[in-house]
Structure 1
């Protein structure tokens, strides 16, 4: 496998619909989209100047793994995932570039919400708890330590899904219901919690704690069903900790991009544009992503990729 990061994917065979921080979105046909995941990495809503080798492959193939696994564990769960096969109308050269970092998905109407689930008091939740004794405005018992599990189990803390260049904002469940409608809001919350708990149980068996995550959902307008979309339970969208080194009362070692966030914060680069990440930080982050991939899937990235 090449250790060169692929920061930009140029694909001319299909119409491009959107460019995100990490993914590019293409139109395949009337019912199908193509997600192509680059090796770009963002932190604090800013894209770094250089990328993480293999990151696009890891996020794509790990999401595909979860899309196949989670419906077995969450009755009634539907996802947008179709296949990791490259569409037939892509050129041979372009297919070589996007193989293992692209997935075909169903076209759906995406709800403008980030469905965030928190299982542990960490990150912004810990800061709010220290200051106010609450997480997302919800009162928690006094005396909790940093990275303690949320008493009573995971909680749902939605936010807006802001347009590119803007920041998501935390909102109440009532505000979420005003945006998407009460029935859909309740189903999104129900599914988000069930998926998170199922993912936690699966990961715990493999020595990983999933502390929190964000999901996205879409609407199948034909069947009126809420459907899991985007990526799912990856080190980009979730905080993941090694179970054998977990210790409440401190920040945790992580398999996710918290390592990069910490480096940015320590060097006064939080939220700064055009940051070039040193090679040792890139390699350490890549190593964490590769390890969590192998633990969760049971195979190395090399064993999983399609050649």
Structure 2
């Protein structure tokens, strides 16, 4: 298996190259978003691609956009990506791209947590709360919360960690109307997705959403939605309170990196082929379980 580490389109101007996506300008008001097979861990982009990863992220996001429509409008334009690039570039973007509206991003990462794990667990152990939300005493790692909670973070510059903030801080930054819109949408999107995923044997522990504002001032759902890159997906049959369950995401590659003794400084180690292939399998299994789409 091979993968796409970076794009090289000549027919459109490159606007931005992120950890995973390359963005190209389509006129003045649209973007071609191409999900590569890059993978990042501990804020480093690894030097080897994960085959099919970009197709998984794109297919899953499109699936959720359709399934969750009605909560908020999204950034899709309906324009076929293949129609905006040169014929000899179609193969490069096929199955891994969308043409999206160019929005003004809301610089808050909107996280919904249904279970207490990861950074939320660490914050709870230290303070008894998560992003200003006070939680009952005596909760265990990976325990399901009585109700999902909204735990936003302020988006930080590339190469630095996002900073957890309270809902009140969201109000200060964007006003009450927008803050309430993104909080309520985050929790409703999570609730609907978690209910559906449960029927497929998957627990969505937590997930993050991103929103932007269009030219008419409407808030729209943007970027990727409910993918293994933006969520923790746990197999329901392997879930137990008190431990961190296995997951359909890049935790497998994070665990491998930790096992190498890497000091978290550049350059990051290049994973061996078996670790790359196993990570690819986990991403594709999540896609198949949730959508029935099989890749590879």
State the TM bucket, normalised to the shorter chain. Answer: over 0.9
Matched, 1:265 2:263: no
Whether 1:175 and 2:173 are equivalent positions in the alignment is no
SS in 2 for 1:88: helix
Query: What is the match of residue 32 of structure 1?
Result: 30
Matches within 5 A, 1:1-307: 3-71=1-69, 75-83=70-78, 85-150=80-145, 152-222=146-216, 224-269=217-262, 271-275=264-268, 276-301=270-295
Moved over 4 A (4+): none
Displacement, 1:76?
A: 4.3
Separation in 1 of the partners of 2:228 and 2:71?
25
Instruction: Quote the Cα distance in structure 1 between the aligned partners of 2:224 and 2:34.
Output: 11
Query: Residue 305 of structure 1 corresponds to which residue in structure 2?
Result: none
Aligned equivalents of 2:113, 2:79: Cα separation in 1: 29
Q: Cα deviations across residues 164-198 of structure 1 (Å, max 9, x unaligned)?
A: 22221111111122222221011100101100111
> For the aligned residues, what is the CA RMSD?
1.5
CA distance in 2, matches of 1:120, 1:89: 42
Query: Unaligned stretches of 5+ in structure 1?
Result: 303-307
Distance 2:263 2:177 in 1: 38
CA contact (8 A) 1:64 1:81 kept: no
Deviation at 1:135, TM superposition (A): 2.0
Equivalent-residue separation in structure 2 for 1:142 and 1:113 (angstroms)? 28
1:47 and 1:273 in contact (8 A); partners too: no
Aligned residues: 295
Q: Determine helix, strand or coil for the equivalent of 2:147.
A: coil
Quickly say closer, same or farther: Cα 1:84–1:64, change in 2 above 3 A: farther
Query: What SS does the corresponding residue of 2:221 show, helix, strand or coil?
Result: strand
Give the deviation of 1:128 after TM superposition. 1.9
